[in-house]
Amino acid sequence: MRLFKSETTKTITFIVISSICLLLSLVNSINNYLHFNLSWVAIILCGLPIIKEADSKKAPIVSLTDRWATWIVVIALVSSIGTYLVTHQILRSVTILVVFCPCALVLATPTAIMAGIGNASKYGILIKGGDVVERLSKIKNIAFDKTGTLTYGKLSVVEYKSFCPEYDDETFLKILASVEAYSEHPLGKAITSYYKENNEELLDIQNFTVNPGKGITANLGEKSILVGNLKLIKDVDINLNKDIINISEEFTKKGCTVIYLSIDNKLIGYVALSDILREEAKEVISYIKSQKINPVMLTGDNKNSAQNIANIVGIDDIHPSLLPEDKMNIIKNLEDSKSPTCMIGDGVNDALALKYSSVGISMGAIGSDIAIEASDIALASDDIKNIPYLLYLSKKTMKTIKLNVTFSLALNFLAIILAMTGILNPVVGALVHNLGSVFVILNSAKLLKTRNNLALNCKTESLFTNESKGALIV
């Protein structure tokens, strides 16, 4: 019995064997190219939840290439049938069917996106979906929260004082720390930590309620307690004399944040807190501007505090004293004006803005759970100096995708034309088809080797001169 009954059977068998050999060679080549080791396995395993979510959120360009692939299939089938009807040569038609499969085109986008997401994870940047990368590459504005984002969010108590003879300074601080112990805000954590340095006992607080952007209401036994900023105090019509207003203005001019405590609608005292600007903040803003992206500051803090920080880092577009819905409305207005905006924040107050922005980035460690949930990207190390690299990587990923798509489309159409004219036979066509996929995979894999060479030149010594020290207090 003859092993091969016809030339066509020989050709098809050879194509299958060649494809298997080429696939094995491809796996070996990729293994050598990536120097694959256990550390990569660890990264992949740790990133499985993100990979699943990234797969469920296709970038728009993925859907576009999928549609193109569908049309290529139609064109190839029509070309194959048309070629046979014109030339009556079955090998030419078979060759067209061999080379038409748009594998390279289908692989062009997802391989690059997943490589980009994998690379970002090495730097503690966790991207939740493939569509995020494409949206980030088109950003026109980046909005920053101030406390915990441009600053470290590790506030310290500068001064505290009771106005009421019924409560001395220490009693006032104890009540305030007891209320703030239930808060997730950096201000509350700072006050509680300061109190616990020398004390352990806290009072039993009931009915703790957060008013986002303003402050806290609670009960201490039968007493009604209110903790918050000057805006909250004014909203509830608590009397403020000139001395209290002058004290508030004095600290806010230095860039401090002032928190007030009232009991039964009577102002008891205040605490002033300060924060330190992140060393890399100025260089991050400088890089953003160099990329023709507009930096914006959205903060609930007072104008003086915001202006001090903005002057140092170089932000011109400032929006102080904002409530969470105010931040959201500013983001919506920017988005509605067809100016895609990225929001970077860490707190509950930023959650709405993070959700409504084209891309939301949260601080993974110090950020609140709701902010992380609302964001598209989490910075595991709370390090904004990775923002420039993230922008660079998103644009590099999109360039890689465009190169992959252009190459795969050109290869498919060229191969179909050559097959129609009889220049390509089925064997060479199979090799050309698989080589296209190899090129796309290896080109995308180069993103895994991309390194963060955007070293920020942070000059910390200039931040602590007598002239600037007061400006850094937030």
Residue type (1 letter), 126: L
Alpha carbon distance 157, 145 (integer Å): 21
Alpha carbon distance 300, 151 (integer Å): 14
C-alpha 118: how far from chain center = 14
CB 253 within 8 A of CB 439: no
Sign of the C-alpha dihedral computed for residues 109, 115, 119 and 122 taken in this order: positive
Terminal Cα-to-Cα distance of the chain (whole angstroms):
89
The three-class DSSP label of residue 461 is helix
Alpha carbon distance 301, 55 (integer Å): 39
Tell me the backbone φ, ψ of residue 293, rounded to 5 degrees. Answer: -110, 135
Strand order in the sheet with 206-211: 156-162, 266-274, 257-263, 223-228, 215-220, 206-211
200: buried, middle or exposed (CB in 10 Å: 19+, 13-18, 0-12)? exposed
Q: Which two tokens stand for residue 274?
A: 């300060």
CB 270 within 8 A of CB 241: no
CB 269 within 8 A of CB 182: no
List, in sequence order, every residue forming a beta bridge with 345; answer none if it has no partner: 362
C-alpha 398: how far from chain center = 16
Cα dist from 86 to 89, 100, 188, 245, whole Å: 8, 19, 81, 92
Active-site residue 350, yes or no? no
Residue type (1 letter), 91: L
Residue type (1 letter), 135: R
Which one of the listed residues 145, 301, 346, 382 is annotated catalytic? Answer: 145
Cα dist from 33 to 101, 194, 445, whole Å: 26, 53, 8
Tell me the backbone φ, ψ of residue 167, rounded to 5 degrees. Answer: -125, 120
Angle value at C-alpha 324, between 378 and 300, nearest 5 degrees: 95
List, in sequence order, every residue forming a beta bridge with 159; answer none if it has no partner: 272
Of 279, 259, 208, 268, nearest to 238 by C-alpha is: 268
287: buried, middle or exposed (CB in 10 Å: 19+, 13-18, 0-12)? buried
Q: Which active-site residues does the annotation give? A: 145
